[in-house]
Amino acid sequence: MESLVISDIRARAVIAPLQRPIRTASGSIEASPLVLLDVATEQGITGRSYLFAYTPVVLRPLQALAEQFAPLLRGQPVVPLARQEQFEKQFRLLGLQGLLGMLVSGLDMAFWDAMGQASGLPVVRLLGGEARPVRAYDSWGLVDPARDAAALARSVERGFRGLKIKLGGGSLEHDLATLRELRSIVGDAVALMVDYNQSLGPGEAIRRVRALEPFGLEWVEEPVAAEDLQGHAQVRARSPIPIQTGENWWFARDAERALSAGACDRMMPDLMKIGGITGWLSVMGLARAASMPMSSHLFIEASAHVLAVTPTCDWLEFMDFGAAVLAHPCQPVDGCVTARGPGLGIDWDEAAVARYALP
């Protein structure tokens, strides 16, 4: 494979429609604010990835920050580990988190995509594995079982073996009523997960988690503030249900801190925060050493590649924020997602990109 050399970085901001808006305890996501990254090379190969900005407020800053990276990268080879070491050195005093951490992680994914395209192989093959179906769960926000009953049933009909909803928008009684109705809709064979989106204190989290035990939940996710590792450890120690966290860890050191604190039973890093594919590889080693199940958070296209080589692979979260701007959106088959290539299998629908571009 010819060595690739970076020639330019392009970033475009879009607000793409969602098939299903996501309501959480801290607010609603009605559309998908994305920054599309293109890493151009002197060899004519372009690596692609996207960033999910959570709010349109940071789209322009993220886009501007990406453009500032072009002078730092022009003429540099597409070697993901070397580039991450370069960023760690250049930003040692600032630290890799926030918008900077998101961008560094997104660029890493684009580097791997470029290498896959240059070799004509899916990234999973570059990682030493092969494309295989990874079980997925359909990820929802807050639900109204009466209003959403038909759509929830369709998730099961599509073959999803698991389903996650968000809680924390009301009282414990409301949580219990929601889960009772949800079980009646999807049946007992479907794995159920719940996500409190950091909305509780440790004491209230313990009270609620204990009350949820009869529903046979797969996990309770982020019951307390993500950075409160001791709070998570307290809840975990008194919880009859596995505690899940990790989507807000920044790079491998955050994962190590959480494991050292005993903060979780299962982990689900986010590729955009954990350091991209290169960062994921470091964390999956920690997960293997701890015998801890490892799931993904968002970014279904890239997650299918890394989960396929993860020794403690658990679940792929199916929450499709990029579909509206992709030429070939990811589609689950029998409740599973399989990595596509070459690269990460990402191609922009340029007409859609133009339609949803930030004005």
Instruction: Give me the average pLDDT of each 10-residue run along the chain (359 residues).
Output: 90 94 78 97 98 96 97 97 97 96 98 98 98 97 93 94 94 96 95 96 97 97 97 98 98 97 98 98 97 98 98 97 96 96 97 95
At 31, phi and psi to the nearest 5? -145, 170
What integer pLDDT is reported at residue 24 of this predicted model? Answer: 77
Separation between Cα atoms, residue 282 and residue 39, nearest integer Å: 23
Tell me what pLDDT residue 160 has. 97
Of 229, 258, 2, 278, nearest in space to 127 by CA: 278
In this predicted structure, what is the pLDDT of residue 3? 86
> What's the pLDDT score for residue 28?
77
Which strand (E) or helix (H) includes residue 176? helix 172-186
C-alpha 21/C-alpha 14 separation (Å) is 16
Helix (H, G, I), strand (E, B) or coil at 192: strand
What pLDDT, on the 0 to 100 scale, is given for residue 1?
A: 58
Strands 243-245 and 219-221: parallel
Q: Which residue, 299, 300, 295, is CA-closest to 265?
A: 295
Catalytic positions are: 166, 297
